[in-house]
Amino acid sequence: MLLGLLCKVLLGTHEYVWVTMTDESTPNTEKPVESITPDELKKRIDSGEDVFLLDARAESEFEEWHIDGENVEIVNYPYFELLDGIPEELHTELPNDQKITALCAKGGSSEMVAENLEDEGYDVNHLDRGMKGWARLYEYAELDVDVDATIAQYQRPSSGCLAYLVVSDGEAALIDPLRAFTSEYVQDLRTLGADLTYALDTHIHADHISGIRMLVEQTDATAVLPKLAADRGVEYDLPYSTVENGDTLTVGDVEIEVIHTPGHTTGMTAYKVGNMLFTGDGLFTESVARPDLEDPEAAKNAAQTLYETLQERILALPDDTIIAPAHFSDSATPNDDGTYTATLGELKASMAALSMEKDAFVEFIVSDMPPRPANYEEIIATNLGQQSPDDEKAFELELGPNNCAASGEALTN
């Protein structure tokens, strides 16, 4: 008796289906190809080990976002070109003395590619759950700061998104939380023995789905938005509070100062705790905000506003102010502990954009912007409460890089 095994692989908009037949009485003793989890791969990269990746996604997907690093060598060769085996030209790019990790979008195609490579004698594994699994990575690191509170930075390596947890005397605030990681925040709050008082956004995000509403549903927290951000047309189905420049919020023994910092968006707002400034998308450790995601037609005016904000409200702060941004890009250099912060003095010395004259700054920013984040219009509509995608759809919308900064490398000295 024969048993039909149906296998399916999705490639872009094309679906390849084939059926293999095997004798039911003959056991399959073939050992499955080795897999590696996203967490394990990240640890290999972080340790400085040389890593070789074969990315089997379509070229357009690869160019939009892929795994990177100083010790990462990566080759893109689309899966559909590997259906008949490993081409000779690819053999010349693959190492014979190093582990190869094959990856794809969801993990199925890369497993088959890895099997073919193993048959050819290569030392190989494949990334479990592919880039979707990579996008589920989320890391927690407590910051060493001179503030009477525990402050942790959350990192999403796949997109460079950063969020922050501030805990003081049993109370807590989350700044720029991501909806996809609500359960992680709730668990960390339990571990730290803190109740969430506030879930704050610095602005209406264009690169990821905000988690403030889901956190309110799962805790007793108050959702907080800058008033000018809410004025863009927020339509939440739950209560929320708004803040304006000069307001303060109390969490345990610390105060959160509200500083309006328009430019990236009209409502862009920074939150200050002690000497830490959570800048959202206004200022990064390697770049400044892009001004075109709220209103592309008004990008030049927004860039002028951004310049004034940087000069008058941020650069006027003491040099020892610690800048804690909402994103990092491949151009950013991490601290020794892997976190992404910098003092304002360090940024003044390293970032040419902060010493440019206004006209030069504006012209440079509007003429050198990267592609907009994928699905940014749908993401903005979701964060305004005008659309309600389910969890899986929301996760799919935000896959890829954040692209919320102006061009990074050219802005540094």
Enzyme catalytic residues: 104
What φ, ψ does residue 90 adopt, rounded to 5°? -75, -35
* Region of 410 on the Ramachandran plot (φ > 0 left; ψ -120 to 50 alpha; else beta): alpha
Q: Whole-angstrom Cα distance, residue 132 to residue 399?
A: 8
Q: Is 389 exposed, middle or buried (0-12, 13-18, 19+ CB in 10 A)?
A: middle
Q: Whole-angstrom Cα distance, residue 306 to residue 283?
A: 10
Q: How far apart are the first and last CA of the chain?
A: 71
Edge-to-edge, what's the strand order for the sheet holding 51-55? 35-36, 124-127, 100-103, 51-55, 72-76
Instruction: State both tokens at 265.
Output: 């968006």
314 Cα distance to chain centroid? 24
Length of the chain: 413
Q: Let me know: does 400 contact 373? Beta carbons within 8 Å.
A: yes
What φ, ψ does residue 182 adopt, rounded to 5°? -55, -45
Instruction: State both tokens at 184.
Output: 């992680």
